[in-house]
Amino acid sequence: MLPAKLDVGELQSYMQDLSIRGEILKLDVPTPTVETAAQAVHARPEQIIKSILFLVDDQPVLAIACGLSNIGRRAIADLYGVGKKRVKLAPPDKVVEISGYEVGAMPPFGHRHPIITLMDRKVLDLHEAYAGGGAEDTLVRLDPHEILRVSGAKVLDLLE
C-alpha cells in the first residue's frame, strides 16, 4: 500500500517554515505538462521548471530543468560514475513513495524524504519561474535561486 500523498497545504507549510519567497497559484485547469502549465499562467515554456525523479542504482536523484528541454541521463551517470543504463526514470508509484507527490505535480522541494537534487544551470538564468505546486492544478511562482537555497542542489549541465 502506498503512503498517503502530501498535499498543497503541506507544501505551503514547508514554504512558510523555510521562509521560501514564492506564491502557490491555484489554477482553473490541470497542468500536467510544460505546455499546459505555460498556457495556464501565460508564461513561456522555458519558465516552467520540471522536477524529474531518477533512480541511480535505486538511489533517488531529483533533476530540475527548464521547459521542454530533455534531461540527459549521461550527465547524471557521469556524475555518479556509472553507466547510463543504471540511471532510470522513477516509475510513478516510486515518485509518490519517495517524494509524496504525483508525477506532473511534484514541487522541487518539500518532499516526504530528503532527495539529492541536481539543477541545470539554465534554470538560474530565470528571474521568475513556475514549478510543480503539489497538485495537478497548482503551481509555485518563485525565483529559481530560492530552489537552490533550500534544496542545496548541485548545479551542472543536465541537458542532452
Q: pLDDT tens digits for 77-131?
A: 999 999 999 999 999 999 999 999 999 899 999 999 899 999 999 999 999 999 9
As a whole number, the mean pLDDT across the chain is 94
Assess contact for 139 and 37: CB atoms under 8 A.
yes
Q: Residue ranges of the domains in the chain?
A: 8-156
* Predicted local confidence at residue 32, as pLDDT: 86
Grid look-up 514541487 returns 107
Evaluate if pTM is beyond 0.75.
Answer: yes
CA distances, 80 to each of 9, 35, 55, 115, 153 (Å): 34, 31, 11, 15, 15
Above 90 in pLDDT, residue 61? yes
Above 70 in pLDDT, residue 3? no
Local confidence band at 21 (pLDDT 50, 70, 90 cut-offs): very high
* Predicted local confidence at residue 78, as pLDDT: 96
What is the fold of 8-156?
A: YbaK protein (3.90.960)
Local confidence band at 1 (pLDDT 50, 70, 90 cut-offs): low
